[in-house]
Amino acid sequence: MKTLKILHMYADMLDLYGDGGNMEIMKYRCGKRGIECIVDKYSIDSEMPDFSAYDLIYIGGGADLEQQHISADLMKCREGIVKAYEAGTFLFLICGGYQLMGKYYRDADGNEIKGLGLFDYFTVAPSSRKLRCIGNIVISADIGGKAVKIVGFENHGGQTQGVKTPFGRVLYGNGNCAKSKCEGYFEKNVIATYLHGPCLSKNPEVADYMISYCVNRGEAEPVKLAAIDDELEKQCRKVMLDRLLKK
Ligand code: GLN
């Protein structure tokens, strides 16, 4: 039996709007295919893990204060995370976690939280706390060669700029900046997005893309994941897509 190993970082501090649920979805969708899914946790003061031993590293979203609290600790992990990412470990990052992999996040008071600088985007929040991107969002993304509509909920002050390869095109909502056309950041082994929800319960294709990547990593003969009955998920998505996209 194939085992998928996930490291969930700062689960106790970065967990907004059900972000922790993303791990439940990964376990559920792996379990349905007979894939064992182990989710280890890492937070401030945990023993330094071997990041490269993981197939996927996950960081959720969080308020400015929590981002400040974890930033020094995250810096200590920089070398290990970079090494794992370069060796092909998948990075799944939501909102605050997305911001902290860039160069920096400057909050509404002008405090700069240093990011890991893994990617060269940066995020700045407007000085008025009232100017936030809040609400439902729909984007169109290319998931494994297929155009997929991705539904979620966004709530961020931060405006992310300098993204060269976005995750998707905004069909409804804001995205990386207020009223922007692009959302998130994407690479073969990185999905970084502002979409909470949790993202994976609303968008099973995203979960399956990551599971498929992890299962097939380093394998000569790629295997196709067995289909799962997603009728309920499809119906939920239809309600949201009809509500948000139909004029
Ligand atoms: N604190 C960050 C912002 O407001 C991230 C928020 C979040 O993770 N939802 O931009």
CATH number, residue 42: 3.40.50.880
Length, in residues, of the chain: 247
Question: Model pTM?
Answer: 0.97
Instruction: Identify whether 179 is part of a domain.
Output: no
Strands (E), the chain: 3-9, 36-42, 56-59, 90-94, 104-106, 112-114, 122-124, 133-143, 146-156, 159-161, 168-172, 182-183, 185-187, 190-193
Ligand 1 close to Cβ of residue 96 (< 6 A): yes
Instruction: Identify whether 82 is part of a domain.
Output: yes
Instruction: Identify whether 177 is part of a domain.
Output: no
Structural domain total, the chain: 1
User: What is the position in ligand 1's atom list of the atom closest to the CA of 155?
Assistant: 9
Instruction: Identify whether 10 is part of a domain.
Output: yes
Ligand 1 close to Cβ of residue 63 (< 6 A): yes
Instruction: Identify whether 152 is part of a domain.
Output: no
Domain containing 27 equals 4-127+157-164+184-226
pLDDT at 170 over 90: yes
What pLDDT is stored for residue 1 in this prediction?
A: 67
Instruction: Identify whether 22 is part of a domain.
Output: yes
Query: Using an 8 Å Cβ cutoff, are 166 and 182 in contact?
Result: yes
Question: CA–CA separation, 43 vs 75, rounded Å?
Answer: 12
What is the 197 CA–ligand 1 centroid distance (Å)?
14
Instruction: Identify whether 147 is part of a domain.
Output: no
Q: What is the pLDDT of residues 13-47, one digit of tens each?
A: 999 999 999 999 999 999 999 999 999 999 998 99
pLDDT at 211 over 90: yes
What pLDDT is stored for residue 246 in this prediction?
A: 87
Q: What is the pLDDT of residues 141-160, one digit of tens each?
A: 999 899 999 999 999 999 99
Q: Which of 70, 156, 183 to mutate to test the pocket of ligand 1 (most atoms within 8 A of CB)?
A: 156
Q: What is the pLDDT of residues 60-106, one digit of tens each?
A: 999 999 999 999 999 999 999 999 999 999 999 999 999 999 999 99
Residue 2: pLDDT band by 50, 70, 90 thresholds? confident
Question: CA–CA separation, 207 vs 192, rounded Å?
Answer: 13
Catalytic (active-site) positions: 95, 196
Instruction: Identify whether 42 is part of a domain.
Output: yes
User: What is the position in ligand 1's atom list of the atom closest to the CA of 67?
Assistant: 1
User: What is the position in ligand 1's atom list of the atom closest to the CA of 17?
Assistant: 9
Q: At what angle do helices 78-86 and 64-76 cross, to 10 degrees?
A: 80
C-alpha separations of 111 from 64, 125, 156 in Å: 10, 10, 16
